[in-house]
Amino acid sequence: MITAAVLGASGYSGAEVLRLLNSREDVEVAHCVAASSAGKSVADVYPMFAGMIDRVYEPYDPNNLSGVDVAFLALPSGEAMRIVPEIYGKVGRIIDLGGDFRLSSPNLYQEFYHREHTASHLLADAVYGLPELNFDAIQTATLVANPGCYPTSALLALLPALRNKLILPSNIIINSLSGVSGAGRSASLEMSFSEVNENIRAYKIGKHQHIPEIQSVLERAAGEHVSMSFVPHLVPVTRGIYTTVHAGLLDNIREEDIAGAYREFYRDAPFVRMKKEIPQLSNVIRTNFCDIHFTIEPRTNQLIIVSVIDNLVKGAAGQAIQNMNIMFQISQERGLQKEFAQ
């Protein structure tokens, strides 16, 4: 039996972790930690859990977590770097769903997250938790940095093409549309129904915190400098990310070369589905799948890639559980298939 703790369990990603773990007979959630909801029952905060989860949110106390096999940190950026040093070595494994350990450079972190990194001594220990890229390293990791939702969608779209030298490493354009749950559960005027409904807007152009994450992973995979632009958009849906990538094809690259490269790269990736048709958001909601489709635009000799995920599952909680499964030598698919009908 794996014992788990979920910190930040009252947020959207934390609640999704609880939902996915709830049906597992091989996992016991020993601690549901949520500072702002401490003392409240899980079912009061999320009525969908009534009759399913009979627990009360507890305040954070690092001593209570000693001996737990795995701790999921579903916390706002800036919180994990305070907590991880306190529980590192006390719990078996740590999976951070936030952004604090995704970048190897504390200077880049400060530039894009606008705060000093106070646990930079642990950055070298963190493994970037994209299973389709770092499966072997995740198996033995003590600290996994779960990828961001936007990066998951963009990286899965681009990695096979860059690694196999099918596209130019310059002037890559990534446009992503996200549902409003990506902003978290805290109330704000700009995320209110009247502001979001029947509206689409781009935001944080050129300064989004996921830019260095995407670029650094692509550069490691390509083995050279990669220049890219990333523009996120907010759309009036609750969950999901729809990414469209434009990249220049190298000369004499054929459709069968691209198809073969993607097929080989994702040969052992149970949650990546290559689609002949253009993917739809509705086909991945509440699943851990990433649907990918590519098209060659002969007029401009560009490769256009569409990648679709659920931001709360493959982009957060589902990928975190996929990482847990890998760490504990369990099938990647355990707990991430039949549970999505709820």
264 phi, psi to nearest 5 deg: -70, -45
Cα(92)–Cα(324) distance, rounded to whole angstroms? 11
First to last CA, the chain: 24
Check: CB of residue 99 under 8 Å from CB of residue 113. Answer: yes
Sheet holding 70-73, edge to edge: 27-33, 2-7, 70-73, 93-96, 143-145, 126-128
From 108, 149, 245, 336, the catalytic residue? 149
Alpha-carbon 133 to chain mean position: 13
**Residues in contact with 233: Cβ distance below 8 Å, sequence separation at least 6, in sequence order:** 175, 176, 177, 178, 200, 201, 202, 203
| Among 11, 4, 17, 18, residue whose Cα is nearest residue 53 | 18
Q: Is 149 a catalytic residue?
A: yes
216 bridge partner residues: none
Neighbours of 229 (CB within 10 A): 13
How far, CA to CA in Å, does 37 sit from each of 63, 74, 175, 322? 19, 14, 36, 27
* Structure token digits, residue 298: 């002969």
Neighbours of 240 (CB within 10 A): 27
Cα(329)–Cα(138) distance, rounded to whole angstroms? 10
Neighbours of 311 (CB within 10 A): 29
Neighbours of 197 (CB within 10 A): 9
- Write out the catalytic residue numbers: 149
